[in-house]
């Protein structure tokens, strides 16, 4: 067989060397045994094969006499592909802290921990697709840039081309000058369209084309010409004024008419409202894409950029929603238990503070507890009053549950079972959640899991036009902003429900990794967009 990968460790003895090679496909890698008669064995004698070097080793798989691994490769040839200077290569044999590794995000996937995290992450992503596809959900790509706002779910990043010219050439990366080929291609496109316009005008004379068709073609031609000219000009940046000032209206406000999208635009905080559009046309759908928060939180639980899974079910109520959320989590957990045993064992031994696989197995096996918010508050109040448990914060009906309360529920009351809490007071939930008949609560649900706390949150959506309009007014939003969202209730409205899962939280839950920055390949947080 042929081993191709990166050297983790080398133990060179007089006549034989042991080289541990890892290609990232599994935690343990394979040990190659190289004796001096192997072709190219001199690279070992020379000390060129060091930790971090890339190698190709050919040989035969044999049973390993050592206890550490079952098989090893008896090398017939060894080839050094790329060296790694031991005096500067940052990843040496010793264990590095996860914090240190964050500073070398381009090398950390070569470590045991980050490699294992990314294999589990990959399997969870695939399990997400196999689950929803096998249940006939349609995958929908909701937009990343949006001029809409999802319930003010959080601070938003602005997306703009207005600053392109506002800082001279120093700050923005110099746009690569358009290559001659690009300029020529743009000119060619314009020329082609010119010919098309000509032909169309002839056709119009012959009565075979309408004025609208000609006008449309001319419009396209003008746009193509503008593009070609912009490309040919070395200074003009697309859509951006070449001045150092942000363009302003007469009243001093920013002139967004000059921005790329002609109005203030933002990075999405949730694809839910867009997913509802598709659920109200194609029944069950799901999203799986990046979402953003511009909140200045430097904690181990928050990222500025993270991936979310947001299923949306049509002709469905909160019960269906909870059933789906529970089945989805169980599927994910069963999938990683089946495909990532070696990695999970590694986390269990080195990272997670509990018996990880045991915990996951029990999640997959048992029904989740389901209680109302009101019952949850009663549990907490009773524990506080009896002195059975001391809480930092009191709770009373109408306030959100603190993480200490949520942990008490999942860990103590329900003995490390996931708990779904439903029917929250409407005052602490978003306007689009369906009002219950009591007039005080909404059909919202949070799934709480031991260790992580809230893993998913969802709701049945308000499908009654009049109720939704009233709720929008009550919370002080503008009905006009939500015209298309209201249209879904105006034309063929259906009961529907969905939930959102922070994908990184799921990876944390299945690995026990404490800091969310270690479960995403390139974490973004205040002050950090490196790599």
Of residues 432-451, which lie at the interface with a second copy (CB under 8 A)?
none
Q: How many CB atoms lie within 10 A of CB 366?
A: 12
- In whole angstroms, the minimum distance from the beta carbon of 65 to a second copy comes to 28
| Contacts for 95 with CB less than 8 Å, ≥ 6 apart | none
403-410 contacts, C-beta under 8 A, 24 or more apart:
403/453, 405/376, 405/380, 406/448, 406/453, 406/454, 407/450, 407/453, 408/379, 408/380, 408/383, 409/371, 409/376, 409/379, 409/380, 409/448, 410/448, 410/449, 410/450
For residue 241, state whether it binds a second copy (rule: CB under 8 A). no
For residue 529, state whether it binds a second copy (rule: CB under 8 A). yes
Contact 228, 182 (CB under 8 A): no
292-331 mask for a second copy (x: CB under 8 A)?
Answer: x-xxxxxxx---xx-x------xx----------------
For residue 153, state whether it binds a second copy (rule: CB under 8 A). yes
Cβ proximity to a second copy: between 15 and 491 the closer is 491
Q: How many CB atoms lie within 10 A of CB 9?
A: 15
Helix (H) / strand (E) element for 19: namely strand 16-22
Q: How many CB atoms lie within 10 A of CB 529?
A: 11
- In whole angstroms, the minimum distance from the beta carbon of 205 to a second copy comes to 23
Please list every residue from 90 through 109 that binds a second copy, using CB under 8 A: 99, 105-107, 109
For residue 272, state whether it binds a second copy (rule: CB under 8 A). no
Cβ proximity to a second copy: between 54 and 372 the closer is 54
Cβ proximity to a second copy: between 172 and 214 the closer is 172
Strand partners, 307: 290
Among the listed residues 43, 218, 254, 364, the single contact to a second copy using CB under 8 A: 254
Please list every residue from 483 through 502 that binds a second copy, using CB under 8 A: 484-485, 487-495
Cβ proximity to a second copy: between 185 and 209 the closer is 185
For residue 200, state whether it binds a second copy (rule: CB under 8 A). no
Q: In what order do the strands lie in the sheet with 138-139?
A: 138-139, 285-292, 305-314, 496-502, 453-461, 441-449, 419-425, 369-372
For residue 11, state whether it binds a second copy (rule: CB under 8 A). no
Among the listed residues 40, 52, 498, 512, the single contact to a second copy using CB under 8 A: 52
- In whole angstroms, the minimum distance from the beta carbon of 362 to a second copy comes to 27
Among the listed residues 35, 45, 143, 366, the single contact to a second copy using CB under 8 A: 143
Question: How many Å is the Cα radius of gyration of the chain?
Answer: 29
**Whole-angstrom distance, CA of residue 456 vs CA of residue 325:** 8
- Three-class SS state of 316: coil
- In whole angstroms, the minimum distance from the beta carbon of 365 to a second copy comes to 26
Please list every residue from 69 through 88 that binds a second copy, using CB under 8 A: 81-85, 88
> Quick one: residue 451, left, alpha or beta (phi over 0 = left, psi -120 to 50 = alpha)?
left
| Number of residues this chain uses to bind a second copy (CB under 8 A) | 158
- In whole angstroms, the minimum distance from the beta carbon of 35 to a second copy comes to 24
Please list every residue from 206 through 225 that binds a second copy, using CB under 8 A: 216, 220, 223-224
- In whole angstroms, the minimum distance from the beta carbon of 38 to a second copy comes to 20
């Amino acid at each position: 067989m042929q081993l191709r990968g990166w050297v983790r460790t080398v133990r060179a003895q007089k006549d034989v060397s042991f080289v541990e090679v890892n290609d990232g496909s599994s935690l343990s890698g394979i040990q190659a045994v190289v004796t001096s008669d192997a072709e190219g064995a001199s690279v070992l004698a020379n000390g060129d094969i060091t930790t971090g070097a890339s190698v190709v080793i050919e040989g035969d798989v044999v049973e390993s006499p050592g206890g550490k691994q079952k098989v090893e490769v008896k090398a017939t040839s060894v080839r050094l592909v790329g060296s790694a200077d031991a005096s500067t290569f940052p990843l040496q044999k010793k264990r590095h802290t996860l914090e240190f590794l964050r500073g070398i995000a381009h090398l950390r996937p070569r470590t045991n921990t980050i490699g294992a995290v990314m294999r589990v992450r990959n399997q969870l992503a695939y399990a997400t697709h196999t689950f929803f596809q096998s249940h006939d959900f349609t995958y929908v790509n909701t937009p990343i840039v949006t001029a809409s706002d999802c319930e003010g779910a959080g601070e938003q990043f602005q997306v703009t081309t207005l600053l392109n010219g506002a800082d001279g050439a120093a700050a923005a990366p110099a746009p690569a000058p358009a290559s001659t080929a690009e300029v020529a291609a743009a000119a060619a496109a314009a020329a082609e369209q010119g010919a098309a316009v000509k032909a169309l005008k002839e056709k119009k004379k012959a009565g075979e084309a309408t004025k609208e068709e000609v006008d449309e073609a001319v419009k396209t031609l003008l746009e193509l010409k503008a593009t070609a000219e912009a490309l040919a000009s070395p200074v003009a940046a697309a859509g951006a004024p070449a001045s150092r000032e942000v363009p302003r209206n007469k009243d001093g406000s920013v002139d967004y008419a000059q921005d790329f999208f002609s109005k203030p635009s933002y990075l999405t905080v949730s694809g839910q409202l867009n997913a509802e559009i598709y659920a109200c046309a194609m029944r069950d759908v799901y999203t799986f894409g990046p979402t953003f928060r511009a909140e200045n939180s430097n904690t181990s639980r928050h990222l500025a950029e993270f991936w979310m899974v947001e299923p949306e079910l049509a002709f469905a109520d909160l019960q269906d929603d909870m059933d789906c959320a529970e089945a989805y989590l169980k599927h994910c957990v069963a999938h990683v238990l089946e495909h990532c045993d070696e990695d999970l064992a590694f986390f269990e031994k080195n990272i997670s503070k509990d018996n990880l696989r045991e915990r996951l197995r029990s999640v997959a096996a048992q029904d989740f507890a389901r209680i109302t918010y009101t019952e949850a508050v009663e549990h907490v109040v009773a524990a506080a009053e009896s002195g059975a448990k001391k809480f930092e914060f009191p709770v009373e009906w109408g306030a959100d549950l603190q993480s200490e309360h949520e942990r008490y529920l999942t860990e103590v009351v329900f003995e490390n079972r996931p708990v779904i809490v439903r029917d929250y007071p409407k005052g602490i939930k978003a306007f689009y959640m369906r009002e219950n008949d009591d007039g005080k609560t909404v059909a919202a649900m949070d799934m709480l899991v031991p260790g992580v706390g809230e893993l998913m949150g969802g709701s049945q959506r308000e499908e009654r036009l009049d109720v939704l309009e009233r709720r929008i007014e009550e919370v002080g939003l503008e009905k006009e902003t939500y015209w298309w969202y209201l249209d879904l209730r105006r034309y063929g409205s259906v009961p529907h429900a969905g939930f959102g899962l922070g994908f990184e939280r799921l990876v944390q839950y299945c690995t026990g990794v404490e800091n969310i920055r270690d479960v995403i390949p390139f974490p973004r947080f205040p002050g950090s967009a490196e790599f």
